Amino acid sequence: MHEWALAESVIKAAAEHAAEQKMKRVSEVAVVFGELQAIDKEIFPFAMKELAKKHPLMSAAKFRIIDEPAAFRCRACSEEFDLKRFRKESDEAEFIHFVPEMAHSFIKCPSCKSPDFEITAGRGVYIKHIKGSK
Amino acid sequence: MTRLDPRPSVIADRLKKVKKITAVTGWKGGIGKSVTASALALLLNEKGHKTGLLDLDLTGASCHFILGSGKAFPREDMGLIPPFVHGVKFMSISFFSKGQGVPLRGANVTDAIIEMLAVTLWGELDHLVIDMPPGIGDAALDALKFFPKARILAVTTPSPVARDVLRRSLAVYKAMKVPVAGLVENMGPKGVAYDPRLDAALGDPEKLLKTAFARRLEKVTRKFIGG
Ligand SMILES: Nc1ncnc2c1ncn2[C@@H]1O[C@H](COP(=O)(O)OP(=O)(O)OP(=O)(O)O)[C@@H](O)[C@H]1O
Ligand SMILES: [Mg+2]
Ligand SMILES: [Zn+2]
């Protein structure tokens, strides 16, 4: 499952951030899942917990998952749109899952059909905050 | 804290077991970078080196066509494991684009490159060859940032315009302290000659390796391929 590779990056980045902030123990990591990438919500948290066990700083961390809906703004005509009206074929959804930028190959602005849109929210995985004690 | 992008933190790890990285560049378009990168990867593999090929020209991916990668697709196992195409571990955006165009702005190119580098598990490689897009835009600068070990194989042609661009590119690499391992003059008398049979061999690695183009490329790059 390719989620493991991203989960590993969350653990590593959080541990590095905590070390920079001279935290002794990380208590919470808030991870945002962008709707577009459709991350597996069982595998990813499981992978984070497993991988965190190997990091002394991270082993007691709780992971808070925050879902972020996808939002787009067309650069050609300024139309704002979301994912609801797109019924992607399953292979396209899988390709966007691997590389969210593939949305530019498969999704068009509903108003002017341009592929030149901005993903304003809900692209993929990022860390919103890291809490811990010093 | 502001939002933190976790992906770059693992990129160096993903390349830990890659011994040599060669970025095939040339700032002019259409001068043979992709055929050079693809043939070089096949030649390295032929010599017994564990070799990978990364197509970093997201908006103009070409290596899948040159290699004829067909239905090959990465395997999912804790990440994405590049498939072997004629013995070469191959990664490209073309796996995910269904043969369609990939219209991306610079920031999207960077985001897609970070995503690919963070999840691609190359494993052990003697050589990773990177096919670069023309110029020194987002993808090329990202490559130099994320592959600090990379050295350049510069492709040029005998055209005075190409030479002028080459001169400027070498100055920039020098200023950025990026080593230039070699120079291939494509379609020129001193380098790799124009090969009228090359186009007919595209898509077939066996045939490609037998072309005058590949055999000459082998000679020209021998010093740096080794063996
Ligand atoms: N020495 C050669 N002899 C014959 N044909 C060649 C030779 N070198 C390149 N070509 C042909 O020129 C075309 C363009 O080559 P290629 O795609 O490798 O260029 P490129 O520099 O990668 O282009 P881009 O800038 O778009 O990435 C291809 O059809 C290729 O087969
Ligand atoms: Mg090319
Ligand atoms: Zn529009």
pTM attached to this predicted model: 0.97
Quick one: pLDDT at residue B226?
62
Instruction: Name the residue at shortest CA distance from atom 2 of ligand 1.
Output: B194
CB contact under 8 A, B9 and A12: yes
A-B Cβ pairs (cutoff 8 Å, strict): 110
Instruction: Domain B7-225: give its CATH code.
Output: 3.40.50.300
CATH topology of domain A3-133: hypothetical protein PF0899 fold (3.30.2320)
The pLDDT value recorded for residue A1 is: 78
C-alpha separations of B14 from A46, A48, A70, B18, B68 in Å: 21, 18, 29, 8, 26
Task: Find the closest chain A residue to B114 by CA distance.
Answer: A99
Strands A125-133 and B125-131: unpaired
Whole-number pLDDT of residue B55: 98
Partner-chain residue, chosen from A12, A116, A126, that has the shortest CB–CB distance to B5: A126
Of the CA atoms within 13 Å of residue B85, those in its CB half-sphere come to 27
Helix H or strand E segment including A43: helix A43-52
Q: Return the residue matching tokens 């700083």.
A: A57
Average predicted confidence (pLDDT) for chain B: 96
Tokens representing A83?
Answer: 């994912």
Q: Are A30 and A127 in contact (CB under 8 A)?
A: yes
Average pLDDT over residues B211-224: 94
Q: In this structure, what is the dihedral angle of CA atoms B154, B158, B160, B162, given to the nearest 10 degrees? A: -30
pLDDT of residue B227: 45
Average pLDDT over residues B94-111: 97
Percentages helix, strand, coil for chain B (3-state, rounded to 5) are: 45, 20, 35
Q: Which residues of B touch A120 (CB under 8 A)?
A: none
Write out chain B residues lying below 8 Å of A8, CB-based: 10
**Under DSSP, is residue B65 helix (H, G, I), strand (E, B) or coil?**
helix
Please check whether residue B20 is in contact with residue B128, taking contact to mean a CB–CB distance below 8 angstroms.
yes
pLDDT in tens, B36-69: 999 999 999 999 999 999 999 999 999 999 999 9
CA distance A17 to chain B (A): 9
Q: If you average pLDDT over residues B19-32, what whole number do you get?
A: 96
